[in-house]
Amino acid sequence: MSSNIYDFSSLTGSIHSWLSGLMSSGWVIFSEMVLVGLVFLLMYALIGLFLVYLERKVCAIMQNRVGPNRVGKWGLLQTIADLIKLLLKELIPIRKSDALLFNLAPFIVIICSFLAMAALPYAKGLQAIDFNIGVFYVMAVSSLSVVGILLAGWSSNSKYSLIGAMRSGAQIVSYELSVGLSLLAIVVFTGSMQLSTIIESQANGWWIFKGHIPAFISFIIFLIASTAEINRGPFDLAEAESELTAGFHTEYSGIKFAFFFLAEYMNMFIVAALGATVFLGGWMPFHVGNWEGFNLIMDYIPSVVWFFSKTFFLILIIMWFKWTFPRLRIDQLLTLEWKYLLPISLLNIVVIAFIVLMGWHF
């Protein structure tokens, strides 16, 4: 890289050396974990609240409305006011529900999205843990949230919730395959599951550009399948408010409902961030061949801006889906996955493996 002025590793390194001067190495690791945890907690809440606000504004624009505009400038404080309202609301206990599982389910869902956030690279040198199996870890952790959804549906002792949970189980289990296979395409190109290696490999061009048509197909499949995996429209069958009132979280109220709500938006952020990292180069700036001047200007945009603009671009696409399309039916949903997306992804993987073997990619 020609420019390292925005490298976060110098900042994190200086914090580490400052802490090392103060206490022994065991305490350093402990206090760093606490620090990172607090930062993630804050980031989680802020991004979640902002995404809720963004969704309301985006859908308002698509529907010829103004959207929230009363609380704060341009309604920016609206979601914070909503959160305070949800915090103060009564938690209604459900008769004949399984109290332990009922209370546990929102935490499982929110912890899953929390865990996935830890492995994402937010900027150059800004990544909590750089696993050597990063892609696999994010996939594995985010697919655990189906357990929370199933538990929520089962323990609510409500028929609507149960149908929602059943749908959600079928949906997430099937679409997990396509998400995994489409990510595998890039793993085959890079030869590594480590997210930092995948990003470094895109220094001279993002995979969506240099991976020929198969990478583009994987990107499209990833977008569709991940939209389904996070239960968002047009695949929001698990909560389908016109059919099942609110699906698996019908019986939840107050902050427990807010947990589901926040986790849904953070899952959207996670899949968008993963897509941006794997297909669109993560925090890598946009470079074109040997246009030295252009590439230099691109380098001056901080890597964190690159990461978040790509992520929010994908989020806007996912929101655009939701506010344009009607909802699919459960059998159509499964047909789409098992009869179309899965065979295409499998074929795609074979083609990519062939390309890599012949050395045809850049």
Partner 1 sequence: MSEEIIKDVIVGENEDYIINMGPQHPSTHGVLRLEVCLKGETVKYLTPHVGYIHRGIEKMCEANTYQQLIHLTDRMDYLSAHMNNEAVCMIVEDALQVEVPERVKYIRTILDELNRLASHQLWWCAFGMDLGALTSFFYGLRDREHILDIFEESFGSRLLHSFVMPGGLMHDVHPNFQKRIKDFIKYFRTKLPEYDQLLTGNVIFQNRAKGIGMMSRETAIGFGVTGPSGRGSNFSCDVRKIAPYGAYDKVQFNEILETGCDVFARYKVRMAEMWESLSILEQLVDNIPEGDFTAKMKPIIKLPAGEYFRRVETARGELAVYVVSDGNKSPYRMKFRTPNFSNLFVMNEIASGYKIADLIAISGSLDLVIPDIDR
Residues that bind partner 1 (CB under 8 A): 59, 62-65, 159-160, 163, 167, 233-234, 236-237, 240-243, 245, 323-332
Could you identify the residue written with the tokens 């795609």?
348
Q: Which is nearer to partner 1, 159 or 339 (CB)?
A: 159
Amino acid at 54: L
Q: Which is nearer to partner 1, 120 or 225 (CB)?
A: 225
- Is residue 148 within 8 Å of residue 108, measured between CB atoms? yes
Q: Which is nearer to partner 1, 161 or 277 (CB)?
A: 161
**Cα R_g (the chain), whole angstroms:** 21
Shortest distance in whole angstroms from residue 121 CB to partner 1: 35
Q: Which is nearer to partner 1, 237 or 355 (CB)?
A: 237
25 C-beta neighbours (distance < 10 Å), count = 9
What one-character-per-residue DSSP string does 275-337 give?
HHHHHS-TTPPP--TT-HHHHHHHHTS-HHHHHHHHHHHHHHHHHHHHHHSPPPPHHHHHHII
- Is residue 247 within 8 Å of residue 167, measured between CB atoms? yes
Shortest distance in whole angstroms from residue 321 CB to partner 1: 10
Q: Which is nearer to partner 1, 20 or 332 (CB)?
A: 332
Q: Which is nearer to partner 1, 130 or 241 (CB)?
A: 241
Q: What distance in Å separates the CA atoms of residue 66 and residue 287, rounded to the nearest whole number?
A: 37
Q: What distance in Å separates the CA atoms of residue 215 and residue 154, rounded to the nearest whole number?
A: 39
Shortest distance in whole angstroms from residue 319 CB to partner 1: 11
**What tokens does 272 get?**
């968008």
Q: Which is nearer to partner 1, 163 or 262 (CB)?
A: 163
Shortest distance in whole angstroms from residue 218 CB to partner 1: 22
Shortest distance in whole angstroms from residue 259 CB to partner 1: 23
Shortest distance in whole angstroms from residue 138 CB to partner 1: 28
Shortest distance in whole angstroms from residue 235 CB to partner 1: 10
Within the chain, how many helices (H) and strands (E) appear? 16, 0
Residue 296's alpha-carbon distances to 2, 66, 267, 291, in angstroms, are 8, 39, 34, 9
